[in-house]
Amino acid sequence: MQKLEVLEKVFGFSTFRAFQEEAVDTILSGRDLLMILPTGGGKSLCYQLPSLLMDGVTVVISPLIALMQDQVRGLGENAIAAATINSDMSDEERMRVFEGLKKGEIKLLYVAPERLGANGFIPFLQSLNINFFVIDEAHCVSEWGHEFRADYRRLGILKEQFPDTPVAAFTATATPKVEADMIEALRLNDPVRIRAKVLRKNLTICTQKRVSNGRTQLLNFLERHKNQSGIVYTFTRKEAEQLATFLQSRHISARAYHARLEPEEKAEVMKAFMRDQIDIVVATIAFGMGIDKSNIRFVVHTSLPKTIENYYQEIGRAGRDGLESETLLLYTKADEIQKRELIDGALSEAYKEVLYAKLQSMYRFALSSACKHRLLAVYFGDEGEDCGDKCESCLRGEVAQQDITKEAQMFLSAIYRTGERFGQNHIIDVLRGSQAQNILKFGHDRLTVFGIGEGRNKNEWGMIADRLFELEAIALGEHRALKLMPKAAAILKGEEHVEIDEDKLGHIRRVKITEDHEERDENFEAFRVLRMKLAAEADLPAYMVFSDKTLHAMASRLPQSREEMLQISGIGEVKYGRYGEAFLELCRELGGK
């Protein structure tokens, strides 16, 4: 078969998505490939399709057992022979896979990077006809990245032991520095580089300063997403459990997920979420890279992520099917301070500085009034343009600016006169004329700046401090002390004015997100119920039967024949053979109303 025939008959698509065909052609030509494609862009098809057109087996290196197992099951649904070898398997199960590989019965083999270091595994691979290697989540190879793993760093052994076998590396996130590091560490030979645009057109991004514990803000957000799948990320295990209990008390279908749960309970929560038996998982980042669920409609962060890379990857789990989805980030300055303290335990000073810089970039992103999509694009080395209507900044439109140069000078002067040795709360107390014990202890009630800012409340001074962080006029030093940056001198001298969005002072921005999600009409709900029934019978996650996007197309068009059904994106001949008749019968029933 030719590639377009495989695309249609096996995967059920009539055309490639952007960049997919270029990646497929690169692999078929025998060249190394480095592909940076946002989550939901269809990376898996880029290597699964060429594997079917080539002799031999494709070896896929992937970081998580759960992700590998989902990939294998999904391929099985398309009648593609795939297997994994992992530590959760019995010796007997692993031997069956080894035998299948020797007989040439397996097209794709998924293994963790640690497996390559297992005794005798490399020699075994050398006995097989391997057409090419795939390295998924390839950013893990880079020490300049956000999820460095030593076992990934050693994957350069592939080029050493298999010099004539091409390598295709894939990731959703990489700055230009990480991109260069991946090529060097993996020893890629003059690879074809494919870097897609960072912009995810179906994601609406919203950031808000967290008020109290953020629960009211969260409930207001969830009101727009009733009965939809979503992930709520928390900072701690305790918060995940408490927030899940709180949502349950509000009759919202939610469960907690974190690393300390018993394996059986983790598996139960994951299974229930993947099969649409619960709507929301409230999770720590333990609910990580292995989430291959296409119909997640929203992602919420209740505190600041550590890096923009983490954030971009986590919000990317929403809307993988291309349908409209929404994200919300709640943050305060305290989040950055907490995560900075965690970084203090890092292995080396150089690595600490990298992580500190990434954390500050994340905080400035949350604060910024600029287009969120453009900020992400610029961070990852892409040419960024304002999204227009897919982030809270652009949805707000023009906002009046207020000059706060005088207040900025007060704040910076207070930092200077207290010797750059104190944190934000102390500086605000000095400006507001507080008689707190520490103010008197250090004699700061005798400073010229004492009490000169009593006309503003604590929240307003907090917003002014945030603006100075955003402008990089101040930064956090050791022990949470604020320190002056070079830009502070220009502000103090009056050479540079400071403005802030007028609606930032004194209250939290409130943005009405335009609701343009596809309506869940009665037809769609009928198809969703049928999908859930068939998925339960097959012991599969619901999205592996058909995606929400495919169900919406069915609900809209109500095909009345096999030929019409096969014209819908996502329905290939294999899937039709398994599920098509049941859905066709429902289409005819609904069409006859």
Digit-coded pLDDT (tens) for 236-278: 999 999 999 999 999 999 999 988 889 889 889 988 998 889 9
Euclidean distance between CA atoms 288 and 104, whole angstroms: 33
Q: How far is CA 125 from the centre of its chain?
A: 33
What tokens does 246 get? 């709180």
| Per-residue confidence (pLDDT) for residue 551, from 0 to 100 | 92
C-alpha separations of 298 from 136, 224, 291 in Å: 24, 10, 13
The pLDDT tens digits for 450-501 are 999 999 998 889 889 989 988 889 988 877 799 999 999 999 999 999 998 8
Task: Give the number of other Cβ atoms within 10 Å of residue 556's Cβ.
Answer: 12
Helix (H, G, I), strand (E, B) or coil at 392: helix
Euclidean distance between CA atoms 313 and 134, whole angstroms: 20
Q: What angle do CA 23, 29, 32 make, to 5 degrees?
A: 65
What tokens does 29 get? 């030509």
Band (346; pLDDT cuts 50, 70, 90) = low
| Per-residue confidence (pLDDT) for residue 145, from 0 to 100 | 59
Judged by phi (left if over 0) then psi (alpha if -120 to 50, else beta), residue 255 lies in beta
The pLDDT tens digits for 298-344 are 999 999 999 998 899 899 889 988 899 999 999 988 888 888 878 87
Q: Which amino acid is at 567?
A: Q
510 or 478, which is more confident:
478
Report whether pLDDT(384) > 80. Answer: no
State what percent of residues in the chain have pLDDT above 90: 56
The pLDDT tens digits for 151-173 are 888 899 999 999 999 999 999 88
Report whether pLDDT(506) > 80. Answer: no
Q: Which residues contact 69 (CB under 8 A, 6 or more apart)?
A: 84, 86
| Per-residue confidence (pLDDT) for residue 521, from 0 to 100 | 66
Mean per-residue pLDDT for 511-535? 69
Q: Running DSSP on this structure, what letter comes out for residue 233?
A: E
Report whether pLDDT(68) > 60. Answer: yes
C-alpha separations of 118 from 85, 123, 234, 257 in Å: 12, 10, 36, 31
Band (426; pLDDT cuts 50, 70, 90) = very high
Which domains, and CATH codes, for the chain?
3-195 (3.40.50.300), 203-396 (3.40.50.300), 405-497 (1.10.10.10), 522-591 (1.10.150.80)
The pLDDT tens digits for 273-310 are 988 899 999 998 766 555 678 889 999 999 999 999 88
Q: Which residues contact 264 (CB under 8 A, 6 or more apart)?
A: none
Look-up of token digits 């007997």: 92
Which residue in 134, 116, 135, 136 sits closest to 125, CA to CA?
Answer: 116
- H or E element at residue 151: helix 150-153
Buried b (16+ CB within 10 A) or exposed e, 62-80: bbbbbbbbbbbbbbeebeb
Band (592; pLDDT cuts 50, 70, 90) = low
Q: Which amino acid is at 36?
A: I
Which residue in 350, 382, 380, 316 sits closest to 143, CA to CA?
Answer: 350
Confidence (pTM): 0.75
Report whether pLDDT(146) > 60. Answer: no
Report whether pLDDT(507) > 50. Answer: no
| Helices of type H across 11-134 | 20-28, 43-52, 65-77, 91-102, 121-126
Residue 202, φ and ψ in degrees, nearest 5: -95, 5
Beta strands 401-403 and 325-331 are: unpaired
Band (376; pLDDT cuts 50, 70, 90) = very high
Q: How far apart are the first and last CA of the chain?
A: 41
Mean per-residue pLDDT for 510-538? 70
Q: What angle do CA 326, 331, 332 make, to 5 degrees?
A: 165
| Per-residue confidence (pLDDT) for residue 520, from 0 to 100 | 44
| Per-residue confidence (pLDDT) for residue 212, from 0 to 100 | 84
70 or 159, which is more confident:
159
Report whether pLDDT(124) > 70. Answer: yes
C-alpha separations of 267 from 71, 91, 99, 263 in Å: 17, 22, 29, 6
Q: Are 159 and 186 in contact (CB under 8 A)?
A: yes
